[in-house]
């Protein structure tokens, strides 16, 4: 085992996605999994296959398509990531996980059972002896199917260390190859958590041949600090999510751990396999697909993370960037402020710039992006990388279209009732027009869309912001909604077993913010409609998830 290498285990698609409000379609999960593989994560926890048939199918597709080397990839290329599926400690869950991950070149089953007194007593209603027995049986069962088995004692942060050493030792005997130590409720402090990991490494029988992993939650804002304390104590796998999304206050964020290990190499002396220049792009993709915005002051990936507003800072930056900048924006893939294209740039220049940003589009999509770029260039003098990203993401991040926006007109202001007239094209190509009033132009547009689509949707979240500075900036909108759905669209939570309805995120960008708002809303509705079995439009362009990476 290389002791200077820290494995990055990404659980954006499982712990991140399980958080209420982040549910993704299987096509989006596949696209995110591809981005994670490009980012260079070692393990992708692709989901909780027992949650629903759709979840199982999503993990199976990721295992088959992202968990295998690309055809023609030489021996020197990176191996495909390990694809992992989560399972509670019961045979049905483990079978579902195996059914899904076995299609990967390197499959892993991750099973867990709680070990803290409070969880054993009130959640599991099991005695500690029965917990140990179940761990033995279920780790052995998982191992009989899959050589690579990870075991997590849930709520380890509040478990008795002596009991943990014993349970973990039994899990190792039963075949566990990775032991993941979760601070499930984000309760511990860095000092405590580091001590817990050191104790496990010192006192667990058989630990020498297993990898110790850390998994921390951010309820007290200590997730990254705790994960790093665990790494300092000897853990060599860290479980993270992009943008830190996850249950309640979220999980340890990938970008924070990776950039700390990178920026403070002199202290940690540890490597990861991450291509840091892919961080910003992956962060945007996760935010756009989940509809969960990144707070502006979020470390590494927030829109202000590299902004130097105060005059004194700007002065220092002009003299030497190290005065206030500990990382270069380029290192995380941010070069968004540079002027890239003008009104007269051609299709080839656009394609080259898109490739630089990591978008390798099919010719038909380049043509569509070029048309949209020309329209934007007529409205906006300066087009930056940030604009190009928003433009192309508005195109490639759209789900399969069941309804598409064909026209929108609004009247609003102080002199009357805000009214919107919307024209949509439906799955069979027919156009429908509807006018509606609302409390404002966005509300009126959403009312008109609802009337045509005929779905009862509740808007849970609406966010809008300008992509760049300047009055002619593109506006980006993300929304999250819930629609009345049947049981087939519900899923079971891995941790509390509760069944909850899915939510759907949508993204739209346009110089007209009402148009951007309508696009985002329709994108989210389309995801719901597609999941509910509506046919997509016949003339649909290649869906994002099926585009070559």
Residues that bind Zn ion (CB under 5 A): 15
The upper half-sphere exposure of residue 84, i.e. CA atoms within 13 Å in the direction of its Cβ, equals 27
Of 141-149, 180-188, 265-273, 453-461, which segment contacts ligand KIV by CB under 6 A?
180-188
Length of the chain: 549
Select 16 or 81, whichever has its Cβ closest to ligand KIV: 16
Task: Decide which of Zn ion, ligand KIV, none touches 530; Cβ closer than 5 to 8 Å per partner kind.
Answer: none
> Running DSSP on this structure, what letter comes out for residue 453?
H
- Smallest separation, CB 21 to Zn ion (Å): 16
237 beta partners: 7, 213
Q: Are strands 178-183 and 211-216 parallel, antiparallel or unpaired?
A: parallel
**Which is closer to ligand KIV, CB of 184 or CB of 526?**
184
Strand partners of residue 111 = 87, 151
Whether the Cβ atoms of residue 105 and residue 121 lie closer than 8 Å to each other: no
CB of 180 to ligand KIV, least distance (A): 6
Work out how close the CB of 95 gets to ligand KIV at its nearest, in angstroms, rounded to a whole number: 18
Q: Taking CB under 6 A as the rule, does residue 186 contact ligand KIV?
A: no
State which of residues 15, 389, 393, 510 lies at the interface with ligand KIV (CB under 6 A). Answer: 15
Distance CA(421)–CA(435), nearest Å, equals 4
- C-alpha Rg value of the chain to the nearest Å: 24
Site string for ligand KIV, 139-168 (x = CB under 6 A): -------------x-x--------------
Q: Which stretch binds ligand KIV (CB under 6 A): 129-137, 162-170, 177-185, 406-414?
A: 177-185
Dihedral sign computed on CA atoms, order 21, 27, 28, 29: positive
Among Zn ion, ligand KIV, none, partner that 154 touches (CB below 5 to 8 angstroms by kind):
ligand KIV
Specify the residue, 51 or 544, whose C-beta has the smaller distance to ligand KIV: 51
What ranges in 215-344 are assigned the alpha helix state H? 223-232, 254-263, 265-268, 279-290, 311-319
Q: Which residues sit opposite 475 in a β-bridge?
A: 466, 510
Q: Does 184 bind ligand KIV (CB under 6 A)?
A: yes
Residue placing its CB nearer to ligand KIV in the complex, 468 or 493: 493
Q: Which of residues 459-478 bind ligand KIV (CB under 6 A)?
A: none
Minimum distance of Zn ion from residue 251's CB (angstroms) = 6
Instruction: Confirm if 497 and 366 have CB atoms less than 8 A apart.
Output: no
Question: Least separation, in Å, of the C-beta of 84 and ligand KIV?
Answer: 11
**Pairing status of strand 457-466 against strand 475-483:** antiparallel
For the bound state, the minimum distance from the C-beta of residue 246 to Zn ion, rounded and expressed in Å, comes to 6
Residue among 412, 7, 43, 17 nearest 227 (CA): 7
Q: Which does 112 bind (CB under 5 to 8 A by kind): ligand KIV, Zn ion, none?
A: ligand KIV
* Coil, strand or helix at 260: helix
Nearer to ligand KIV by Cβ, of 29 and 215: the residue is 215
Q: Please give the C-alpha separations between residue 278 and each of 9, 166, 208, 476, 529, in angstroms, as whole numbers.
A: 16, 41, 34, 21, 32
Minimum gap (Å) between residue 493 Cβ and Zn ion: 11
Contact footprint for ligand KIV (CB under 6 A):
15, 112, 152, 154, 180, 182, 184, 215, 217
């Amino acid at each position: 085992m290389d002791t200077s290498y820290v494995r990055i285990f990404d659980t954006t698609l499982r712990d991140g996605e399980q958080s209420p409000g982040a549910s993704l379609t299987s096509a989006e999960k596949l696209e995110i999994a591809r981005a994670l593989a490009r980012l260079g994560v070692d393990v992708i926890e692709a989901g909780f296959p027992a949650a629903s048939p759709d979840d199982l199918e999503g993990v199976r597709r990721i295992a088959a398509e992202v968990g295998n080397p690309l055809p023609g990839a030489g021996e020197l290329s990176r191996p495909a990531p390990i694809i992992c599926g989560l399972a509670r400690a019961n045979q049905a869950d483990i079978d579902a996980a195996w059914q899904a991950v076995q299609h990967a070149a390197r499959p892993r089953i991750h099973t867990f059972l709680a070990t803290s007194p409070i969880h054993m007593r009130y959640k599991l209603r099991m005695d500690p002896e029965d917990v140990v027995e179940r761990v033995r049986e279920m780790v052995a069962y998982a191992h009989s199917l899959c050589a690579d088995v990870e075991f997590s004692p849930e709520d380890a942060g509040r478990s008795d260390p002596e009991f943990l050493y014993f349970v973990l030792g039994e899990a190792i005997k039963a075949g566990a190859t990775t032991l993941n130590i979760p601070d499930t409720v984000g309760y511990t402090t860095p000092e405590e958590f580091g001590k817990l990991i050191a104790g496990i490494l010192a006192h667990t029988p058989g630990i020498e041949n297993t990898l110790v992993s850390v998994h921390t939650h951010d309820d007290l804002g200590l997730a990254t600090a705790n994960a790093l304390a665990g790494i300092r104590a000897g853990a060599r796998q860290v479980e993270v999510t992009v943008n830190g999304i996850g249950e309640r206050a979220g999980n340890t964020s990938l970008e924070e751990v990776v950039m700390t290990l990178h920026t403070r190499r002199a202290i940690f002396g540890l490597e990861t396999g991450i291509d840091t220049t892919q961080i910003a792009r992956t962060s945007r993709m996760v935010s756009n697909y989940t509809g969960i915005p990144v707070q502006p002051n979020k470390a590494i990936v927030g829109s202000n993370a590299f902004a130097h507003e105060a005059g004194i800072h700007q002065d220092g930056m002009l003299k030497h960037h190290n005065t206030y900048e500990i990382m270069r924006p380029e290192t995380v893939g941010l070069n968004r402020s540079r002027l890239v294209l003008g009104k007269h740039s051609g299709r080839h220049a656009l394609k080259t710039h898109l490739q630089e940003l990591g978008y390798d589009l099919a010719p038909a999509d380049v043509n569509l992006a070029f048309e949209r770029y020309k329209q934007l260039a007529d409205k906006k003098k300066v087009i930056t990388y940030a604009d190009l990203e928003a433009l192309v993401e508005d195109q490639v991040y759209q789900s399969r279209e069941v309804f598409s926006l064909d026209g929108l007109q609004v009247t609003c202001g102080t002199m009357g009732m805000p009214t919107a007239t919307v024209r949509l094209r439906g799955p069979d190509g027919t156009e429908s027009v509807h006018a509606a009033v609302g409390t404002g132009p966005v509300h009126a547009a959403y009312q008109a869309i609802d009337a045509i689509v005929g779905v009862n949707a509740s808007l849970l979240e609406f966010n809008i912001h300008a992509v760049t500075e300047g009055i002619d900036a593109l506006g980006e909108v993300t929304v999250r909604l819930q629609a009345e759905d049947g049981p087939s669209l519900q899923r079971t939570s891995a941790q509390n077993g509760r069944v909850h309805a899915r939510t759907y995120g949508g993204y739209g960008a346009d110089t007209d913010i009402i148009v951007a708002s309508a696009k985002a809303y329709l994108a989210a509705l389309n995801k719901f409609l597609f999941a509910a079995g509506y046919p997509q439009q016949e003339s649909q362009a290649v869906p994002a998830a099926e585009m070559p990476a």
